[in-house]
Structure 1
Amino acid sequence: MLINTDVNLPFSAIRLLQHGWHLLMPSACLWCSLPVQSATSQLCSACQQALPQLPYRLCHYNLLWLPQVANGLKKPAFDQLLSVSLYQQPYQHWLQQWKFFTDEAAGELLQQQFCALLAEYHSAGRNLPDAILYVPMHASRQRKRGYNQAQLLAQAAASQLKLPLLDILQKTRRLPPQVGLSRKQRQRNLRHSFSLSANISLPAHLALVDDVVTTGATANEICRLLRRHGVRQISLWTVAVTALT
């Protein structure tokens, strides 16, 4: 059960309300529909343990070292890629539910999984960026949807890692949906589609957050813009990445 935490209540009181509600009516796991064990969880313990894993200790927390991933991203303009999972079930289902059907429970689950990966990354002693930014949506599309999932993920990441969140990117052109387009079509659509706030001074290392990376065309366009403004190292952090099959 999701409890609205926007009300003016102490954090401890909100947690107490969640725990009490959980005892009365446990939430259903978002994958198997059995009761969850914790008031703040969206998955039961069995489904959490069964989630697909990526071999981060083998690839040094950079998916660009995995041929299955790297071969699908032609000439990435970013230096590092960190994703919770390949674009597969059950993440594919949750991403679509959040993105197209405003499923807040699925969105909260994905943010939890995203932050858990970042916590693991940090505890492994990996270098953190100086700040975080996110892939923007065109203003008209964001008004229609009501939110930008990349922005929500970036906010969660900034809170988790205690890093600045930069709201400096704008999408200047409204484009047709990218789903189903080839790499060249995506690249052609995205040319000159993003801009940076004027007179902005950027740090040397940034993390760019998005929900899914498919061909890398969107991230590459933004990375080229950032590098023209002096950024030297760019990490791309996403929930999922499409890999070659």
Structure 2
Amino acid sequence: MSILDILFPKKCVGCGRAEANICPKCAKTARLAFPQVCPACERASIGGVTHKRCVKSGLPDGLISIWAYERLIRNVVKKLKYRFVYEIAEELGILASNELNKVIAEGWIPKNDKIVMVPVPLHWTRENWRGFNHSREVAKIIGEQLGWRVVDLLTRVKKTRSQVGLGEKDRQKNMEGVFSLSLPLCQGFAGQASLRCGNDWTIILFDDVWTTGSTMKEAIKVLKQAGFKEIWCLTLAR
């Protein structure tokens, strides 16, 4: 136990016990996001695969969300994002990995030795204010647990207003032109000068919550333009 744990003991977000930010008992109460849905029409889809009738440019091949965005998970995500409780990222990442192992066993996530997890970036002003990118920190833990490579392929080049309270059309407009490719990172990652060399990689775009998908869909446009063909979305909650 560290001196920080003594001075600032962890309390479970769910029950308030001084044990962990998410105690094992409360973790079991978090409702899984079931059924998985097509990211286009948001109707039930086995494994979250995009329906054939819904396939069009700018959409992922599928969407996997782990939990329903309610009660415990909603409070945990808010505590991580807005109260800057950094260590929650590790607990969330481990819990998420445990659930993802089940998803992998079911064959819902495509088996590919070249899986790269790409966290949705924050604008540099927000990341500096917060001190970290919550999506990246959770992604790093998931990557360590599952053996996935985590790479910052995207940069947020435009500062936007909060998406909270916006309707779907306003969210889409708010996110237009927000992302660009991290050029040196992508070139080094792909190992070639041309960016159109990612065909054999499976990109798993990661963020905390799927609401309308406007943020992730805008990021997908940039990744598709770079030549990446297979792109899945993964979120903690929906």
Structure 1-normalised TM-score?
0.74
Counterpart contact for 2:66–2:236, Cα < 8 Å? yes
1:216 match: 213
Deviation at 1:89, TM superposition (A): 0.7
2:14 match: 31
Counterpart contact for 1:168–1:197, Cα < 8 Å? yes
| Sequence identity (%) | 26
Between Structure 1 and Structure 2, whose CA radius of gyration is higher? 1
Q: 1:2 to 1:47 in 2, by over 3 A?
A: farther
Listed as ranges, the matches of 1:113-152 within 5 Å are 113-125=95-107, 126-128=109-111, 130-152=115-137
1:53 match: 32
Q: 1:176 to 1:2 in 2, by over 3 A?
A: farther
Is 1:164–2:149 an aligned residue pair? Answer: yes
- Post-superposition Cα deviations, 1:10-61, rounded to whole Å, max 9, x if no partner, equal xxxxxxxx9xx9xxxx96433112364xxxx544443232221233xxx5xx
2:77 match: 95
Q: How many Å separate the matches in 1 of 2:176 and 2:65?
A: 25
Q: 1:189 to 1:52 in 2, by over 3 A?
A: same
1:8 match: none
Deviation at 1:104, TM superposition (A): 3.0
Cα RMSD (Å):
2.9
Letter of the 2:155 counterpart: Q
Is 1:77–2:55 an aligned residue pair? Answer: no
1:184 match: 169
Counterpart contact for 1:186–1:217, Cα < 8 Å? yes
Q: How many Å separate the matches in 2 of 1:33 and 1:78?
A: 38
Deviation at 1:174, TM superposition (A): 0.8
Aligned length: 210
Deviation at 1:128, TM superposition (A): 3.9
Which among 43, 61, 64 is matched to residue 67 of structure 1?
43
- Post-superposition Cα deviations, 1:85-144, rounded to whole Å, max 9, x if no partner, equal 121111111111110111234333322222222222233344245211111111111111
Give the unaligned 5+ runs of structure 2.
49-53, 188-194
Q: How many Å separate the matches in 2 of 1:109 and 1:2?
A: 17
Structure 2-normalised TM-score?
0.76
1:9 match: none
4+ residue runs of structure 1 moved beyond 4 angstroms?
A: 1-4
Report the secondary structure of 1:98's partner residue: helix
Letter of the 1:216 counterpart: G
- Post-superposition Cα deviations, 1:208-238, rounded to whole Å, max 9, x if no partner, equal 0001111111111111111122222211111
Counterpart contact for 1:134–1:209, Cα < 8 Å? yes
Give the unaligned 5+ runs of structure 1.
5-17
Deviation at 1:68, TM superposition (A): 6.9
Q: How many Å separate the matches in 2 of 1:67 and 1:131?
A: 27
Report the secondary structure of 2:149's partner residue: coil
Q: How many Å separate the matches in 2 of 1:187 and 1:167?
A: 22
Q: How many Å separate the matches in 2 of 1:109 and 1:82?
A: 19
Q: How many Å separate the matches in 2 of 1:88 and 1:2?
A: 32
Report the secondary structure of 1:84's partner residue: strand
Deviates more, 1:202-211 or 1:27-36: 27-36
Q: 1:107 to 1:155 in 2, by over 3 A?
A: closer
Letter of the 1:64 counterpart: C
- Post-superposition Cα deviations, 1:194-214, rounded to whole Å, max 9, x if no partner, equal 111334443442100001111
Report the secondary structure of 1:207's partner residue: strand
